[in-house]
Amino acid sequence: MPGKTSKDILTLIRENDVKFIDIKFTDLPGSWQHFSVPAASFDQGAFDNGLPFDGSSIRGFTSIDKSDMLLRLDPDSAVLDPFHDVKTLSILADVEDIVTGEKFGHDPRYVAKKAERYLQTTGIADTAYFGPEAEFYIFNDVRYDQNMHSGYYYVESDEASWNSGRDEKPNLGYKMRTKEGYFPVAPKDTMQDLRSEMCLSLMEAGIAVEAHHHEVGNAGQAEIDLRFDSLVKMADKLLLYKYIVKNTAAQNGYTVTFMPKPLFQDNGSGMHIHVSFWRNGENIFHDQAGYSRLSQTAIYYIGGVLKHASSLLAFCAPSTNSYKRLVPGYEAPINLVYSARNRSAAVRIPITKASKSTRVEFRAPDPTANPYLAFAALAMAGIDGIQNKILPLGPYDKDLYDLTTDEKTLIPHTPTSLEEALNALNNDREYLLKGDVFTNDLIDTYINYKQTREVEGVASRPHPYEFALYYDA
């Protein structure tokens, strides 16, 4: 089905009396950046010539001596923004060098596009479908600070178990018990209407929603399931999903976080990623006679993902907070094996009878990931597994937390820190460089940013719990 053209967008602007065009692009860590152009001065030239901007002020982009860059608009990404009183149209853009006209190697969306093209050149498949499940927490209030002489955070949720004794005049007592937030009805689940409003906005923006529900975490954890799409389009949709979820919450007096582990002693927020490869309209991951209806190609894909899992997680679980989620317990998928149905394995095979629904679910990622880089890296790891016929460890069809000590020693685990994942990426990157999808320069820039800004930034600051442990030493 053909996408929207620039002429379609100009017509849409006129017919909807749009006042501003909001241009969005993605920085290296994975956050949207934007500026707005008056519709009165927006014409075909914006599409033909692009729009200039200062790339030196964007995280992970370029130095001040090469700051002038160009945004090339993608008309097919245009959507009316539901959150502004002034009628605004949102359009995504790709980044180019303003002098040479070449695509910018640090643009995450460009990396994702290269991954799609490389998959097609291999002859393995023509389409990679991705279906992320980005969980999040909805809080009533959040306060945090970090300075020279203090550091703290404080979150509040009206649903939380810790408020069972709060004087609410009256406290009706319908609080979520810890780790019992999965599927209870109202009045315990107070977020039904808010999640429904989020879903309505998502659907109005063209994002297909399959379901929404309360998640395990007692203090307002939630999940909205989106229908799968191809690699770049799904990454586009995931950033729009986060934008809509956060802004819908804010308009209703709530705050949303996609942090993997905002609460101690309750479940973290993951982003399980479902993947399947297709060729000529057929799902090549399906084989009715295979283990859990998986084809040998799918098994090799899993082999590539598990072999490269430690370096993959530098992109798929890219925060220091990610590794507070990836710990034993709390349904954390820390075991680098695969299994049907088993949620304690890093790779799970959802049970399905339809060939088109056969897929592989990588459970270790979380929603702090830049989806363009995470999806591209997952595709590249799987391609490497298929090309080199890498066999994964498993399948394991029992609770991996109940294994004997000897059995556990045979199973590799996810990294225990972001620094460990970054070191793994530094040493295991060749599979990402195929087809010039990722470049050494991009990977080096990414590692340096994460190491200096996040790993060292967290490591060099006193932790509040250290005062409880050591203040009276």
Residue 272 annotated to the active site: yes
State the catalytic residue, choosing from 94, 116, 215, 384: 215
Annotated catalytic residue 215? yes
- Residue 133 annotated to the active site: yes
Which position among 279, 343, 413, 428 bears the catalytic label? 343
CA distance 89 to 111: 25
Selecting among 27, 116, 135, 384, the annotated active-site residue is 135
Asked if 363 is an active-site residue, the reply is yes
Out of 72, 106, 195, 272, the active site residue is: 272
Whether 407 is catalytic is no
The catalytic residue among 22, 223, 266, 419 is 223
Catalytic residue among 266, 363, 384, 454: 363
| Residue 139 C-alpha from the chain's centroid | 20
| Residue 34 among the catalytic residues | no
Per the annotation, the verdict on 204 as an active-site residue is: no
Of 81, 133, 236, 384, which residue is the catalytic one?
A: 133
The backbone torsions φ and ψ at residue 123, rounded to the nearest 5 degrees and listed phi first, read: 80, -5
Known catalytic residue at 223: yes
15 assigned to active site: no
335-340 and 221-226 strand pairing: unpaired
Query: Tokens at residue 282, please?
Result: 């057929």
Task: Point out the residues that are catalytic.
Answer: 54, 133, 135, 215, 223, 272, 343, 361, 363
